Amino acid sequence: MAITTMIGAKIHRREDPRLVSGYGRYTDDLVRPGIAYAAFVRSPYAHARIRSIDVTDAVKAAGVVAVLTARDFEGVLSGAAPVAPTFVAEKKTVPDRIFIAKAEAVYQGEPVAMVVAEERYQASDAASLINVDYEPLPAVMDIEKALDPSSPKAHTDLADNIAWDLVYNDDANAAFEEAEVTVKERILQQRLAPTAMEPRAVMAEYSRGDDQLTIWLSTQNPHWLRLFVAGAMGMPESRVRVTSFDVGGGFGSKISPYSEDYLVAAAAKITGRPIKWTESRTEALQTDNHGRAQVFDIELAGKRDGTLLGMKVTQYIDTGAYVGTFGSFQACACLLAGGAYKWQQIAARTVGVLTNRVLTDPYRGAGRPEATHLVERMLDIFASEIGMDPLAVRRKNFIQPGEFPYEQNFGLVMDSGDYEKTLGRALEMIGYEQFRQEQEAARQQGRYLGIGLSTWIEMCGLGPSAATAPATGGVGLAEAAQVRFLPTGSVIVYSGTHSHGQGNDTTFAQIAADTLGIPYEQIEIRHGDTAEGTGFGYGTYGSRSLAVGGLAVRMASLKVVDKARKLAAHIFEAAEEDLAFEQGDFYVKGSPENKRGIQELAFASFGADRPDGMEPGLEAVAYFDPPNFVWPFGAHICQVEVDVETGAVEILKYVGVDDCGNVINPMIVEGQLHGGIAQGIAQALFEEVIYGEDGTLKTGTFLDYTVPTANEMPPLSLDSTITPSPSNELGVKGIGEAGTIAASAAVINAICDALAPLGIRHVDMPASPDRLWAMVQEHRTGLEGYHVVAFAGTPDRAGVHPHGDPDAALTGSEEEGRIIGTGGRAEPGSEGSPQEGPRHQEDYDE
Partner 1 sequence: MKLKVSTTINGKSRADEVEPRLLLVHYIRDVAGLTGTHIGCDTSQCGACTILVDGKAIKSCTMFAVQAEGKQIETIEGLAKDGQLHPIQQAFWDEHGLQCGYCTPGFIMAAKYLLATNPNPTEDEIRKGLEGNLCRCTGYVNIVKAVKTAAATMGGAAQPATSSQPVATSGSGS
Sites of contact with partner 1 (CB under 8 A): 3, 9-17, 19-24, 26, 28-29, 120-121, 194-199, 246-249, 251, 278, 280-282, 500-503, 519-521, 667-668, 670-672, 674-679, 701-703, 707, 709-711, 713, 715-716, 739, 841
Amino acid sitting at position 303:
K
**Cβ at position 765, least distance to partner 1 in Å:** 18
Range list of β-strands (E), 748-832:
none
The DSSP code sequence of 339-366 is TTB--SEEEEEEEEEE-SS--B---TTT
Rounded alpha-carbon distances, angstroms, from residue 126 to 272, 343, 601, 633, 780: 20, 61, 62, 53, 57
Nearest by Cα to 832 from 821, 843, 846: 843
Nearer to partner 1, 637 or 668 (CB): 668
**14 vs 49, beta carbon nearer partner 1:** 14
Q: Do the beta carbons of residue 219 and residue 254 sit within 8 Å?
A: yes
Which residue, 218 or 768, has its beta carbon nearer to partner 1? 218
Do residues 695 and 107 touch, judged by C-beta distance below 8 A? Answer: yes
Q: How far apart are CA 37 and CA 204, in angstroms?
A: 11
Name which of 281 and 303 has its Cβ closer to partner 1: 281
b/e map of 247-286 (b: 16 or more CB within 10 Å)? Answer: bbbbbbbbbbbbbbbbbbbbbbbbbebbbbbbbeebbbbb
Minimum CB–partner distance for residue 818 and partner 1 (Å): 28
Q: Which is nearer to partner 1, 528 or 626 (CB)?
A: 528
In the complex, least distance from residue 194 CB atom to partner 1, rounded to whole angstroms: 8
- Exposed/middle/buried for residue 628 (C-beta within 10 Å: 0-12, 13-18, 19+): buried
Q: Tell me whether residue 344 or residue 522 sits nearer to partner 1 (CB atom).
A: 522
We find the least distance from the C-beta atom of residue 200 to partner 1, in angstroms, to be 12
Torsion of Cα atoms, 215 then 218 then 219 then 222, to 10°: 30
Phi-psi region at 744: left, alpha or beta (left = phi > 0; alpha = psi -120 to 50): alpha
| DSSP notation for 171-200 | --HHHHHH-SEEEEEEEEEEEE----SS--
- Of 230 and 491, which has the nearer Cβ to partner 1? 491
Question: Shortest distance, CB of residue 37 to partner 1, whole angstroms?
Answer: 10
- Identity of the residue, 680 or 795, whose beta carbon is nearer to partner 1 in the bound complex: 680
Q: What is the CA radius of gyration of the chain?
A: 28
Distance CA 98, CA 837 (A): 20
Q: Which is nearer to partner 1, 1 or 575 (CB)?
A: 1
Pick the closer one to partner 1 by CB: 521 or 578: 521
Q: Is the peptide bond before 450 cis (omega within 30 degrees of 0)?
A: no
Q: How is residue 94 annotated by DSSP?
A: -
The amino acid that residue 663 corresponds to is V
CB of 512 to partner 1, least distance (A): 14
**Minimal distance in Å, beta carbon 506 to partner 1?**
9
Query: E strand or H helix at 585, and its extent?
Result: strand 585-588
CB of residue 198 to partner 1, shortest distance in Å:
4
Q: For residues 324 and 361, is the Cβ–Cβ distance under 8 A?
A: yes
Burial class of residue 412 (count of CB atoms within 10 Å of its CB; 0-12, 13-18, 19+): middle
Beta carbon of residue 551, minimum distance to partner 1 (angstroms, whole number):
22
DSSP string, 255-294: TS--HHHHHHHHHHHHH-S-EEEE--HHHHHHHSPBEEEE
- Nearer to partner 1 by Cβ, of 121 and 606: the residue is 121
Give the Cα separation of 820 and 446 in Å (integer).
31
Minimum gap (Å) between residue 678 Cβ and partner 1 = 3
- Smallest gap from residue 675 Cβ to partner 1 (A): 5
Q: 15 or 415, CB closer to partner 1?
A: 15
If the CB atoms of residues 194 and 806 are measured against partner 1, the closer one turns out to be 194
Q: How near is the Cβ of 144 to partner 1 at its closest, in Å?
A: 32
Q: How far is the CB of 720 from partner 1 (least distance, A)?
A: 15
Nearer to partner 1, 37 or 623 (CB): 37
Q: Which residues contact 120 (CB under 8 A, 6 or more apart)?
A: 37, 278
* Alpha carbons 643 and 640: distance in angstroms, whole number: 10
3-class SS at 594?
coil
- Is residue 104 within a helix (H) or strand (E), and if so which, with residue range? strand 104-105
Nearer residue to partner 1 within complex by CB, 10 or 803 = 10
The nearest distance, CB 741 to partner 1, in angstroms, is: 15
Q: Is 775 helix (H, G, I), strand (E, B) or coil?
A: helix
Half-sphere exposure of 515 (CA within 13 A, CB side): 26
